[in-house]
Amino acid sequence: MNIIVVGCGREGSELAYRLFKEGNRVTVVDYNESAFQNLPDDFRGRTIVGEALNQNVLVRAGIEHADGVAAVTNSDTVNAVIAHAVRAAYGIKNVVVRNFDPAWRPMFEAYNLHVVSSTSWGAQRLEEMLYHGELHAVFSAGNGEVEIYEVKVPEALHGQPASRLSGSCDECRLVSLTRAGKAMLPKADTLLETGDVLLVSATIAGIQALRQQLKPKEAAL
């Protein structure tokens, strides 16, 4: 694939290098020539010095033949304008935008851009670890609004139907159940066994509700 990465800071250089190592043809654009020093010595992609908002710079970078563009500068407005421009003017659909300030996310979403917010995602991840560190997140969608968690069935739920979990939480869904190394799609009447490993997709509110379900009940006095 021909990929253009706009911005060669820490994240842009890391992204460009990873894409290059996967065999893609990568062009990195940055207005500051010294930023290319962030790239590893064995990077063999192209580097273009200039403002990506300048059409001539984009043409030099190969925008007319690009398969994808990542706008990862340290400016939310620049990233949004670049992403909108390359989609509108060149018809490139595979565009990803980096977001710094969560307050700008509605603008990106209004343009229907694929946005990754390290601030929002990081805060979401820290929050979930504080609330329920015993549940292991294995996949994060979007900016962490929905995640897939790995949950080990405790003894308290042995013999209970899977609907005991899925039916008690509006914001969580059972994805799979693994037993003795074999995965299956659980049905509502599938009986859980101690040690089963469940994959559950949930929002943070949903996983909090599930955590309450998994919490050992206090013995009656």
CATH number for 48: 3.40.50.720
Closest CA to 39 of 77, 12, 2, 13: 13
Pick the last residue of a domain from 120, 149, 164: 120
The residue among 56 and 151 whose pLDDT is bigger is 56
82 & 153 share domain? no
Query: CA triplet 11, 20, 113: central angle to 5 degrees?
Result: 50
220 in a structural domain: no
- pLDDT bin (cut points 50, 70, 90) of residue 47 is very high
**What's the rounded mean pLDDT across residues 215-219?**
53
Give all strands of the β-sheet with 68-71 in edge-to-edge order.
46-49, 25-30, 2-6, 68-71, 95-99, 114-117
**221 is a domain residue:** no
Confidence of residue 28 (pLDDT cuts 50, 70, 90): very high
* Together in a domain, 111 and 30: yes
Question: Residue 219: which pLDDT band, with cuts at 50, 70 and 90?
Answer: very low
Q: Let me know whether 151 and 57 are in one domain.
A: no
Could you list the residue range(s) of the whole structural domain that residue 31 is in? 2-120
Average pLDDT, the chain: 85
Which CATH number characterizes residue 198's domain? 3.30.70.1450
Total domains present in the chain: 2
**Chosen domain end from 63, 86, 120:** 120
What is the chain's alpha carbon radius of gyration, rounded to the nearest angstrom? 23
Confidence (pTM): 0.64
Partners of residue 168 on adjacent β-strands: none
Could you tell me if 85 and 146 lie in one domain? no
Tell me, yes or no, whether 16 and 89 share the same domain: yes
Q: Which strands make up the sheet holding 172-179, listed edge to edge?
A: 136-141, 146-152, 197-202, 172-179, 182-184
Which whole-number Å values give the CA distances from 78 to 45, 63, 92, in the listed order? Answer: 23, 17, 17
Residues 58 and 113 in one domain: yes
Which of 48-52, 120-124, 205-209, 216-220 reaches the highest mean pLDDT? 48-52
- Tell me the pLDDT tens digit for each residue of 113-169: 788 877 777 776 676 656 555 567 777 777 678 888 888 888 888 898 988 876 667
Same domain, 207 and 110: no
Same domain, 182 and 206: yes
126 inside domain: no
